[in-house]
Amino acid sequence: MVDYYQILVNFYKPIFDLKKKHVSNSIIEYFFNNRMKKNPLMNAMIKFSFYTWGDESLKITDWLEMDCVKKVRVSPDELKNIHCPVLALLGKNEGEIFKHQTHQFINGISSNKKDVYVFTLEKDGCSDHCQIDNRSRSNSVMLDWLDELFLHSCKPSDVTYVNLK
C-alpha cells in the first residue's frame, strides 16, 4: 500500500517522537522551526505544502494532525487499477520507507510501461525528496521520459505540423 501518512511519519520522525513523548506543541514548533532554518529548500517546500493545504500560517503540529493528511492512502486493490504509463522518481538519500513504498507502488500497478528513476548527487546533482535541491534536473528526467513515451507510441504519420508563419 502507498501510505502518504507513513511517509510523513518517517520523514518527520523526530517530530513524531516528540509528540509521542507528549512534549508540548510549542517546543515541537521551536524544534521544527530551528530545523527548517538550517534547510531553506525544505522550509520552502513545507511552506508551499501548507499553502496548498489552504493555510500558509499552519503550524507543523496542526498539519500533521489533520484528518485529510492521515487518510491519504492508496490500497493494493486501487493500485491494480492503474494501467497508464508510470514514471516513479526517487532520491537515493530519501530513506528506506520511500524506497519500500516506491517498490510497492511499481510492483502493485498494472501498467505495461513502468519505470523508476533514482536520483543521485553524483549523477544528477540532487538526491533529496522531490528533488528540491535541483528541480531543473527532475524536470529534465520527466520530460525526457515523456518524449520517449510519446515518440515511441506515435507514428510519424500521426503527427500533424502547423505552420505558424
Domain segments of the chain as ranges: 2-70, 75-157
Q: How many CA atoms lie within 13 A of 60 on its CB side?
A: 28
Q: Positive or negative, the Cα torsion across 52, 53, 58, 64? A: negative
For the cut 90, the answer to whether the pLDDT of residue 84 exceeds it is yes
Percentage of the chain with pLDDT > 90?
A: 12
Q: What is the pLDDT of residue 1?
A: 47
Top-confidence residue, 161 or 120: 120
Q: What is the pLDDT of residue 111?
A: 92
Confidence of residue 159 (pLDDT cuts 50, 70, 90): very low
Q: 88, 151, 148, 78: which is closest to 115 by C-alpha? A: 88
Name the residue with cell 532554518.
37
Q: What is the pLDDT of residue 60?
A: 78
Confidence of residue 11 (pLDDT cuts 50, 70, 90): low
Confidence of residue 74 (pLDDT cuts 50, 70, 90): confident
The SS3 call for residue 74 is strand
Q: Positive or negative, the Cα torsion across 94, 8, 109, 156? A: negative
Q: What is the pLDDT of residue 154?
A: 58
For the cut 50, the answer to whether the pLDDT of residue 24 exceeds it is yes
Top-confidence residue, 164 or 122: 122
Q: What is the pLDDT of residue 36?
A: 80
Q: What is the pLDDT of residue 58?
A: 80
